[in-house]
Structure 1
Amino acid sequence: MTDATRVPLLSMRGISKRFGGVEALVGVDLDVHPHEVVALVGDNGAGKSTLAKMVAGVLTPDTGLVEIDGAPVSIPTPAAAHALGVATVFQDLALCDNLDVTSNLFLGRELRDARGVRDDERMEQQARQILRDLTSRIPSVRVPLSQLSAGQRQSVAIARTLIGSPRLVVLDEPTAALSVAQTAEVLMHIEGLRDLGLGVILISHNMTDVRAVADRVEVLRHGRNNGSFDARSTAYEQILGAITGAVRVGDPPRRVPAAS
């Protein structure tokens, strides 16, 4: 069954959002399927973060329809998003330097035994399993976050999304300000999320990262859809043209000259 015939994990139709006199989003559509990484790209102010915050329950659309597995839903709060199986990692990561990896993974969702006592052993076991699933290189689940690199912290933030068995993960600029090696590790984790069967929305300005892990690229320009592209077969120039406005929705693909 193709993506065109499958019911999407997430479907957003006609999403609009206004802040005072500013139209942040106008009639935006977005689909995400299981086992799929969808990159959401566009220039600053294109509406990427606004759309992501709606999926995360931080903002609500003024108009439009949101469906999960084909059923209409409302996502008025982050708690509602979590209950629907949506996990989000924003750029600030929301991690605590003074806590170890396990405590950060389960922060606010600590496991307890039958007596109501915090079950550190079970949390450590689950933390190790999650990091193994993501093939993370973090040395120990007991190491304080303050001793980890920026890339390792991003790994912890991504691993934290797997607490509660989500179906959809939203990642906002996960490789920003990372070294080449750290970026490679984070991109591997994103592929790991897809391999686990999750749908992933990746917001990024880095087209190299996007083309490395995304299955599909959705371009936003001035709060509107401006193209949907296969990440691996579409020329970089075509996607860049959609981002800058040189290519508009409905324009035929431009032929890229063969290398001489």
Structure 2
Amino acid sequence: MTVLSVKDLRKRYGHVDALVGASMSINAGEVVSLIGDNGAGKSTLVRILSGVEAADSGHFEFDGKALDAGDISKRRELGIETVFQDLALADDLNPVQNLFLGREVMRQGILGKLGFMDTKAMEKQGRHALQTLGATVRNFSGRVGGMSGGQKQSIAVCRAATWANKLIFLDEPTAALGVPQTKGVMDLIRRVRDSGVAVILISHSMPHVLEISDRIVVLRRGRTVANYTPANTSVEELVGAMTGALEVGEKK
């Protein structure tokens, strides 16, 4: 089932054309990697699809219905979450508190109306979510600011997976991570995919892209130029498509 379909998205900043015809689609339970050289339009496309910005023109559908422009809160209501490169974690809070940040569970009755949170319920649900998704977190009560990059990344992905039931955007989730931390995040992406949630991944690591993806979409100068499956391509071909060294059409 197609979760998201994008056709001919265009976006211009002043005299710069960031997107000049980006198109792609993704199905439920699928990982689609979005690759391209710096300035290809990857992050712009994700900002538009996640509701941070509005496109100048183009058409995109979510679950077969037209998706309104530029409203990240409405995307969340539809089951769409995004993990940006800055992760947007609160360093002074623990992992469970970060999972429920902005979605706190309130106590029943008058106490809830007075602003009292149900910390026990959040602790139970949060621990279960982190453990079920295999997050590399051992200290559930410690400050996130004192944790490793891999642990922070897994918390951010888990938070997205906890609230998303349709689609997650991941912008460079393994950037600057070591080998063990990267493996943990990759395993986490697989668990999210296997739960039926669609994942759109931005990454500069071609080996990781080939390892984790069901399909690979190549952007160059704001335009979709190729669509590959990992079994039928190579790092050299992907780099050639990204840089323009190879003239390519759509390949499946």
Superposition TM-score, scaled by structure 1 size? 0.91
Aligned to 1:162, what secondary structure does the other structure show? helix
**Residue deviations 1:137-157 (CA, integer Å, cap 9, x gap):** 311322221231110000000
What secondary structure sits across from 2:207 in the alignment? Answer: helix
CA apart distance, 1:252? 7.7
Give me the whole-angstrom Cα distance separating, in 2, the residues matched to 1:84 and 1:63.
22
- Once residues 32 and 9 of structure 2 are traced to their aligned partners in structure 1, the CA distance between those partners, rounded to angstroms, is 17
C-alpha change, 1:27 and 1:244, in structure 2 (3 Å) is: same
Counterpart of 1:217?
216
2:52–2:72: 8 Å Cα contact kept in structure 1?
A: yes
Counterpart of 2:12? 18
Q: Percent of counterpart pairs with the same letter?
A: 43
Instruction: Decide which of 27, 36, 44 is 2:21's aligned counterpart.
Output: 27
1:66–1:72 CA contact under 8 A, matched in 2: yes
RMSD: 1.5
What SS does the aligned partner of 1:232 have? helix
Structure 2 unmatched ranges of 5 or more: none
Alpha-carbon separation, structure 2, partners of 1:30 and 1:9: 11
Residues 136, 150 of structure 2: 8 Å contact kept: no
1:237-252 aligned at under 5 Å gives the runs 237-250=236-249
Using the size of structure 2 for normalisation, the TM-score is: 0.94
4+ residue stretches of structure 1 with deviation over 4 A?
Answer: none
Distance of aligned partners of 1:11 and 1:59 in 2 relative to their CA distance in 1, 3 Å threshold: same
Is the CA contact 2:227–2:251 (under 8 Å) kept in the aligned structure 1?
A: no
Q: 1:83 matched to which residue of 2?
A: 77
Contact kept in structure 2, 1:55 and 1:86, CA below 8 Å: no
Confirm or deny: 8 A CA contact 1:215 1:232 kept in the other structure: no
For 1:133-148, what aligned pairs fall within 5 Å after superposition?
133-148=132-147
> SS in structure 2 opposite 1:181?
helix
Helix, strand or coil at the partner of 1:151: helix
- Offset at 1:105? 0.8
How far is the alpha carbon of 1:251 from its aligned partner?
7.7
Deviation at 1:125, TM superposition (A): 1.2
Secondary structure in structure 2 of the residue aligned to 1:135: coil
